[in-house]
Amino acid sequence: MSAAWQRDGYEAVIGLEIHVQLDTASKMFCGCPNRYGDEPNTNVCMVCLAHPGAMPVANAEAVRQSTRVGLALGCRIPESSEFSRKQYFYPDSPKAYQISQYDQPMCGEGSFRVPGEGGFEIRITRAHLEEDAAKMIHAGGDAGRISGSAGSVVDFNRVGTPLLEIVTEPDIRSPEQARRFLTLLRATVIAIGASECDMEKGSLRADANVSIRPIGADEYGTKTELKNMNSFRFLERGIEAELERQLAIVAAGDRVQQETLHFDPATGTLSPLRSKEEAHDYRYFPEPDLLPVTQDAAQLQTVAAALPELPVARFERLVAAGLPEATALLLATEPELARYYDDLAERTGDAKIAANWVMGELQAHLKDRGIEADASPVTPERLAGLIALVVDGTINQTAAKEVFAALVEDDAITAQAVVEERDLAQVGGADALGEIVDAILAAHPDEVEAFRGGREQVIGFLVGQCMKQSGGRADAKALQALLRERLAG
Amino acid sequence: MQLTPDEVRHVAALARLGLDDAEVDRLGRELTGILGHVATISALPIADVPPTKHARDTTDALRVDETRPCATREDALRNAPDPAPDGFRVPPIGA
Amino acid sequence: MDVLGLTAERAMGMLRARECSAEELAQAYLDRIAAHDGEIHAYLHVDPERTLAAARAQDASGADGLSGVPIAYKDLLSTKDVPTTAGSRILDGFVPIEDADVVARGNAAGLVSLGKTNLDEFAMGSSTEHSAYGVTRNPWDRTRVPGGSSGGSAAVVAGGLAPWALGTDTGGSIRQPAAFCGLVGLMPTYGTVPRFGVIAFACSLEQVGPMALTVRDAALLQQVIAGRSPRDATSVDLREPIALPEAGRLDGLRLGVPRAELESGVDAGVLARFEESLAIARGLGAETVDVELPHARHGLAAYYVIAPAEASANLSRFDGVRYGLRVDAPDVRAMYEATRDAGFGPEVKRRIMIGTYALSAGYHDAYYVQAQRVRTLIRRDFDAAFAGVDAIVLPTAPTPAFEIGARLDDPLSMYANDIFTLPVNLAGIPALSIPNGLVDGLPSGLQVIGPAFAENLLLRIGAAVEAELGFDPVPPGLRGGA
Ligand SMILES: [Mg+2]
Ligand SMILES: [Zn+2]
């Protein structure tokens, strides 16, 4: 499934740097609302604008959420972590330093397993807490000025949004692995409730460090950094494109240059970004305005105990329950659907049947309506009612589909009521079927001859005729049996 | 240890201080003198002494995750050297 | 009404006894400011209408306590709707949108602001000569500096232009100007006074503190500003409330004297006054014993790495984007460099350069981390000393006020004036400076240093010695309305 990327004797070496905006009520270091999409420069204060004398105070919930994510990634959580100043001048950085973490991050080394066929394990280097930068609205958004020197306007609403930066070891070996890893990571963070991880809104952002090396080599090749891959597809395509580019360079006998590249989804091409001068000398030092954050074993246990079931665990539970991996993976990575499934499985007491309905009729209906499972008029309770009628033989598959459609249309009615209203109960009684069978056999003497003459397949035709006669309500099995009995006789 | 003009210019560039040659020259001399004095501690054999990172040994002064009223946009833009209707104008990032 | 030499405590008494109104009191100071601040140049911003309105509001409020007592604020403290410059061109015209916590506490106590006082640019200096808005003169001798960086606050109190004032102390910036101007100055235990709204120079070293005519006034003002704030994560509550000290005996107290520190570079007159104060303390029943601070002599070097390192980052926000000066240029980087070149004075550039260098790749460990190690050693020195003594005494500064211009071209000699004060900031402990008599007609200071949270002990010692010395804080030249 997700084989390593290997071409012409070279293999891919990929590491990810993932920024997750934590879903807190207030910002990382001040009380301004942490909210996307408001009017520019309305969620700002002295701290956001780095007015002289402003001081940061760290948000306890951001600390808690990053600890939860760290634990989910199997990270070691140090007893004490500390904030540092990362210095660089840029209009999106009001203090000209970002409060981040340097040698004592919230979360230390960890490891995250992507299960299933072609599964793999990615080591986590660290996850540290920091603040997001402001938004630059480049010229064009530059309203109210006639003379057109193409500058920018800075909106400080986003500045100070809590960010958890998750850094992986270069353990990823293909663009597809990168996508699978990020998909499961995203599902995990969402399950924890730490972030909505919406790549369009930028609450999940991934940069990739990409290099190639001769297959089996120990040391790494020169890496490039890919930015702005704001969807899973772009991430995969961007890395793919960069691997091909590097391969071409090496094939031509040249050397890959270390640089930062910007992926343009429109053209699928990569263009070099202007690198910030002296970006290599951030002059980190401990943030004197903030105190170290400490968490002892007892506190960590409390946090760990409060974690919900995580996608990896859910995947394994569902596979153990006999679901196909593809189904288990989908349910593991889609919390809404999974919650629906768990509810339905419990009500029906049959994992497989519940899965078949969720993956079949329900998903089709959700796609068709463009809604999440929890918004469907067909609640697990109503669907369980329908499934019960199938299981006890009251209706057959054909009727069941009709009943499901009825449940979608009318959210008041029950499956039982639909069956009665439309008289969809199967016809299974020997005498009721007998009449139909006798009538059909009488109406088709030639086919009866042919069957008795050894043309077994004619039975299919006769079954079809009977089913038609019954208005689709006949119990298919019982019908078969009765026909054979009569034809034999 | 004498700071060269290039070293001075490099540090000034990091600090975004546009210095003219006279300032580069003067600061070169002054910094050499000051750093010369500061260097008296560089030699001390104290690698085993833990650095003091914070003035007090307290920890965990965290804030409850609650929102507080923000500044009005008017107040936010009040001191802006080049205000736009809804933000802070800056020159092009440039080449 | 003559307010020259009027203490805040006495002013409060007059107000509560209805001997005068807050408005009359404020007007009396505004009149003196109008008459004398021309030569002293201690105020950067005075708004008589605003001051009188505030005073009238206090008169109308019928509030008790300090309500209506005037005060002056160092222009490093943010004051809502009132220009705040930090003594720098780069903040020319800047108007804060919120009050500093200490200013808010002053307002809550009913204090009436007379204005904002001059300082060395961003509090970087020991003479107030590094202000972008002109030098402040010492009311005791106008050819001399008032000390710094809180020189403006010292000069307004010594000059009778305010009963008391708030200053800030990063390496001696309250205590040294207090000593140079014959005042009491308290550098509080690190964290006991919130720094929110205090324009940052070196966050891990600085505190706001009172500058006053008497030890009791200093205590009174400390009561107003001390205590934890939710807006300053490094702030803490006092272990015990600040008490108003009474003059009394010092029986049973052990005062440590770091003899080795006094061996060189200390003015003979300053030394003589210091020894006299030790004798006074002994006369009051205290015992004086020698103590060692083996690493104190490295304090200057450590300080001039740590403070500039923090400053270099703290001052990076002055980039011409959101407030303050902007020098237009075709692109952002050129705008930054032109703005910061034009906006910062020579001493600030010097410190930004030192700090940036000390944090830059290749030098970070040799300079910054090494300085933090020395800081640890200095803290340990004090801990060890306080195991044997209740407090440590030193001259506040090795010399009296020096002449304007004398040290301007010699940064190191300027820095050296703080050798007795800055180890205290490195240790984060409290120290009180009280007048220690005159040297050739100029004030000198006695510094009493204590362990963390020992403010009440320091104030008690200060009040006792103060009473014995009977120092008159009014410069002779000012008597008779001069
Ligand atoms: Mg980051
Ligand atoms: Zn804010």
More confident residue, C172 or A391: C172
Q: Which residues of C touch B53 (CB under 8 A)?
A: 372
- The CA distances from residue C397 to C128, C215, C255, in Å, are 16, 19, 18
What digits encode the pLDDT tens for the residues A413-429?
Answer: 999 899 888 888 877 77
What digits encode the pLDDT tens for the residues A178-206?
Answer: 999 999 999 999 999 999 999 989 999 99
Q: Chain A interface, mutation test: which of B57, B60, B68, B72, most A Cβ atoms within 10 Å?
A: B60
Q: Does A26 touch chain B (CB under 8 A)?
A: yes
Query: Measured on CA atoms in the order B11, B13, B17, B21, is the torsion positive or negative?
Result: positive
The partner residue sitting opposite A283, judged by closest CB among C84, C318, C359, is C359
Q: Which of C149, C229, C277, C433 is catalytic?
A: C149
Cα(C292)–Cα(C289) distance, integer angstroms: 10
What digits encode the pLDDT tens for the residues A94-152?
Answer: 999 999 999 999 999 999 999 988 899 999 999 999 999 999 987 654 443 334 457 89
Q: Could you tell me the distance, in angstroms and rounded to a whole number, from the CA of residue A87 to the centre of ligand 1?
A: 12
The partner residue sitting opposite C332, judged by closest CB among A49, A57, A91, is A91
Return the pLDDT at C154. 98
Distance from CA of B5 to the nearest CA of C (A): 13
Q: Could you tell me the distance, in angstroms and rounded to a whole number, from the CA of residue A431 to the centre of ligand 2?
A: 80
What's phi and psi for C438, nearest 5 deg?
-100, 145
Q: Which residues of B touch A43 (CB under 8 A)?
A: 70
Q: A125 is written with which tokens?
A: 């280097």
Q: Could you tell me the distance, in angstroms and rounded to a whole number, from the CA of residue A130 to the centre of ligand 1?
A: 7
Tell me whether residue C173 is one of the annotated catalytic residues: yes
Distance from CA of B12 to the nearest CA of A (A): 11
Is C236 close to B37, i.e. CB distance below 8 A? Answer: no
Distance from CA of C72 to the nearest CA of B (A): 24
Is A60 close to B61, i.e. CB distance below 8 A? Answer: no
The partner residue sitting opposite B58, judged by closest CB among A41, A62, A291, is A291
The CB-based long-range contact list for A307-310 (8 Å cut-off, 24+ gap) reads: A307/A68, A307/A71, A307/A72, A307/A192, A308/A191, A308/A192, A308/A193, A309/A191, A310/A72, A310/A188, A310/A191, A310/A192
Q: Structure pTM?
A: 0.91
Q: Which residues of C touch A89 (CB under 8 A)?
A: 316, 319, 333, 336
Range from A330-344, A473-487, C399-413 carrying the lowest mean pLDDT: A473-487
- The ligand with the least distance to the CA atom of A33 is 2
The partner residue sitting opposite A42, judged by closest CB among B65, B73, B84, is B73
Return the pLDDT at C320. 98
Query: Measured on CA atoms in the order A478, A479, A480, A486, is the torsion positive or negative?
Result: positive
What digits encode the pLDDT tens for the residues C142-154?
Answer: 999 999 999 999 9
Is the pLDDT score of A365 beyond 80?
A: yes
- In total, the C-beta contacts within 8 angstroms joining chain B to chain C are 171
- The CA distances from residue C108 to C63, C104, C105, C207, in Å, are 10, 6, 5, 20
Q: Does B14 touch chain A (CB under 8 A)?
A: yes
Is the pLDDT score of C482 beyond 60?
A: no
Q: How many CB atoms within 10 Å of residue A190? A: 20
Minimum CA–CA partner of A94 in chain B: B88
Is the pLDDT score of C384 beyond 60?
A: yes
Is B63 close to A59, i.e. CB distance below 8 A? Answer: yes
Q: Could you tell me the distance, in angstroms and rounded to a whole number, from the CA of residue A64 to the centre of ligand 2?
A: 20
Return the pLDDT at A276. 52
Tell me whether residue C149 is one of the annotated catalytic residues: yes
Q: Using CB atoms, which chains have 3+ pairs under 8 A with C?
A: A, B
Is the pLDDT score of A431 beyond 80?
A: no
Average pLDDT over residues C345-357: 97
pLDDT band at A272 (very low <50, low <70, confident <90, very high): confident
Q: Which residues of A touch C361 (CB under 8 A)?
A: 280-281, 283
Distance from CA of A115 to the nearest CA of C (A): 42
pLDDT band at A275 (very low <50, low <70, confident <90, very high): low
Return the pLDDT at A274. 64
Specify whether the CB–CB gap between C145 and C151 falls below 8 A.
yes
More confident residue, C178 or B55: C178
Length of chain C: 482
Q: Which residues of A touch C233 (CB under 8 A)?
A: 55-58, 289-291
Give chain C's radius of gyration (CA, Å).
21
The 3-state DSSP class for residue A167 equals strand
